């Protein structure tokens, strides 16, 4: 069997590191100087260099293979990075700069919820094979980990957060298998590892993953005082509040404009053998009430399935959130994460402005809702809308 080529010949030795790219963006006026971002860029550069140093040596002669060790010593796997801090501090930007510079082909950059949806799909398919007699391997985790590492040995996760018990219960075993196979993990998060899945059901069964994470990644805080996303808020009329006739009329006008006279009708999205109801849809635009998406037992994977078909979401009547609506709040956080990560547009009516929607900041949702507020603000920005327009136009 031929050895899978892991190194990207084109970018094996990029001219610049993350620090150089960051400095160039500051010099061009695209970013403000930030010493904490500069320090974090140096950490990314160190990891980049550690990965580059693993590049296999080229043969120096036609007979070089004769004198090479039959069993070359396995090089140590570099420790990854887990960067946590407040929203809008530049964590994702720095990780994306790093990801673009890493000179290996087998790499994957994904939202954590999307990755876990893929994992659960693979586990489901393996169990179907076991049921059909196509495999004798009863435990699905090792073969799933093997298939994942074959596709990507570098995993970069944006906004690492654990809210689903099914994810929490599998993470320790899954990443134990991945790390043993040489996986390098880089992740950004709003919370430090010790606060992951805080107050979650059966959290004691999740804690071994935290210990595993600390062993294989370097934990670093990025807490700049500035939320750079707030500076982009252009107040575009896509988030209407407070609730009432005026907000409803504005949503209806926007709906008529976005559907542009196309036939509007109910639809369904089939996912894992279930049908997700779409109350109203036209083309790639879909409309829901808050109750449709956040008061029903939907998970991040359901939202991903919806966004594969629709790139513009209308969401009516978002209420005030908090401990009295804990499950609904969690789903709303996941929904906004998914919309943002896919660059989709959101038109919404709500009981209050984004920063006032959460009435009490408690538990995991309190930490994570800061990210939700920041993303809702960025979704309203001219830059975000222009990015969506260019992408859908194929520019």
Could you read off the pLDDT of 341-378 as tens digits, one per residue? Answer: 888 999 999 999 999 999 987 767 777 898 899 899 88
What is d(CA 313, CA 193) in angstroms, rounded to the nearest whole number?
32
The answer to whether residue 394 scores a pLDDT higher than 70 is: no
Tell me the pTM: 0.61
Q: Which residue segment(s) compose the domain that 262 sits in?
A: 230-392
What region, left, alpha or beta, does residue 101 occupy, with left being phi > 0 and alpha being psi -120 to 50 degrees? alpha
* Residues 186 and 314 placed together within one structural domain of the fold: no
d(CA 388, CA 39): 31
Q: Does residue 278 have a pLDDT over 90?
A: yes
- What is the sign, positive or negative, of the torsion defined by CA atoms of 250, 253, 255, 257? negative
Given 178, 193, 221, the domain boundary residue is 221
**9 within domain boundaries:** no
Confidence of residue 285 (pLDDT cuts 50, 70, 90): very high
Look at residues 221, 238, 256 and tell me which one is the last residue of a structural domain.
Answer: 221
Most confident of 145-159, 221-235, 253-267, 377-391: 145-159
How far does the chain reach from its first CA to its final CA, in angstroms?
A: 40
CA dihedral sign, ordered 148, 151, 155, 158: negative
Task: Calculate mean pLDDT across residues 222-244.
Answer: 68
SS3 350: strand
Q: Which of 200, 221, 242 is the last residue of a domain?
A: 221
Asked whether residue 163 falls in the same domain as residue 256, the answer is no
Shared domain for 130 and 241, answered yes or no, is no
pLDDT at res. 12: 40
User: Is 234 in the same domain as 197?
Assistant: no
Residue 15: pLDDT over 70: no
Asked if residue 17 lies in contact with residue 98, where contact means CB atoms within 8 angstroms, the answer is no
pLDDT over 80 at 261, yes or no? no
pLDDT, tens digit (0-9, with 9 covering 90-100), for 60-86: 444 444 444 444 444 689 999 999 987
Residues 6+ apart with CB under 8 A from 241: 247, 349, 350, 351, 352, 353
pLDDT for the residue numbered 158: 85
Residues 242 and 215 in one domain: no
The domain total for the chain is: 2
Clarify whether residues 211 and 234 are in a common domain. no
Write the DSSP string, 183-197.
Answer: -EEEEEESS-GGGTT
- Locate 205 and state its tokens: 């069964």
* pLDDT value of residue 57: 46
Same domain, 134 and 160: yes
3 state SS of 315: strand
Which DSSP symbol is given to 12?
A: S
Both tokens of 357, joined, read 């929607």
pLDDT at residue 32 is higher than 90: no
Q: What is the longest distance spanned by two Cα atoms in the chain?
A: 81
Does residue 240 share a domain with residue 174? Answer: no
Do 370 and 238 sit in the same domain of this protein?
yes
- Is pLDDT of 216 > 50? yes
Least confident span in 119-128, 335-344, 372-381, 386-395: 386-395
Q: Per mean pLDDT, which range of 4-18, 125-139, 227-241 is the poorest?
A: 4-18
Q: Is residue 199 a part of any domain in this protein?
A: yes
Q: Residue 70 has what pLDDT?
A: 44
Please classify residue 130 by burial: count the beta carbons closer than 10 Å to its beta carbon, then call 0-12 exposed, 13-18 middle and 19+ buried.
middle
């Amino acid at each position: 069997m031929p050895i899978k080529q892991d190194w990207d010949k084109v970018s094996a030795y990029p001219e610049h590191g993350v620090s150089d790219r960051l400095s160039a963006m500051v010099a061009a006026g695209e970013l403000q100087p930030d010493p904490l971002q500069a320090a974090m860029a140096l950490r990314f550069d160190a990891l980049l260099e550690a990965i580059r140093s693993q590049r296999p040596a080229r043969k120096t002669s036609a007979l070089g293979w004769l004198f090479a060790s039959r069993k070359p010593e396995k090089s140590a796997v570099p420790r990854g990075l887990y960067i946590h801090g407040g929203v809008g501090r530049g964590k994702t930007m720095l990780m994306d700069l790093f990801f673009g510079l890493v000179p290996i082909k087998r790499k994957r950059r994904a939202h954590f919820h999307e990755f876990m949806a893929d994992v659960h799909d693979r586990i489901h398919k393996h169990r179907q094979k076991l049921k059909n007699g196509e495999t004798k391997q009863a435990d699905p985790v090792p073969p799933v980990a093997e298939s994942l590492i074959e596709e990507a040995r570098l995993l970069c996760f944006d906004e690492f957060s654990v809210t689903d018990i099914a994810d929490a219960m599998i993470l320790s075993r899954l990443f134990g298998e991945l790390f043993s196979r040489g996986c390098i993990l880089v992740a950004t998060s709003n919370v430090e590892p010790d606060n992951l899945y805080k107050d979650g059901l059966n959290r004691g069964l999740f804690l071994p993953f935290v210990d595993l994470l600390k062993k294989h990644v370097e934990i670093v805080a990025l807490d700049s005082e500035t939320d750079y996303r707030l500076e982009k808020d252009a107040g575009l009329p896509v988030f209407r509040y407070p609730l009432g006739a005026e907000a409803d009329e504005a949503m209806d006008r926007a709906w008529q404009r976005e559907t542009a006279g196309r036939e509007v009708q109910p639809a369904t999205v089939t996912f894992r053998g279930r049908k997700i109801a779409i109350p109203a849809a036209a083309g790639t635009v879909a409309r829901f009430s808050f109750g449709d998406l956040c008061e029903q037992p939907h998970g991040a994977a359901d939202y991903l399935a919806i966004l594969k078909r629709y790139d513009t979401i209308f969401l009516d009547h978002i209420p005030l959130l908090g401990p009295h609506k804990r499950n609904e709040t969690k789903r709303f956080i996941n929904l906004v994460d998914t919309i943002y990560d896919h660059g989709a547009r959101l038109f919404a009516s709500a009981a209050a402005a984004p920063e006032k929607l959460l009435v009490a900041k408690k538990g995991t949702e309190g930490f994570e809702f800061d990210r939700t507020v920041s993303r809702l603000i960025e979704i309203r920005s001219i830059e975000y809308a222009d990015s969506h327009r260019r992408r859908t136009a194929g520019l």
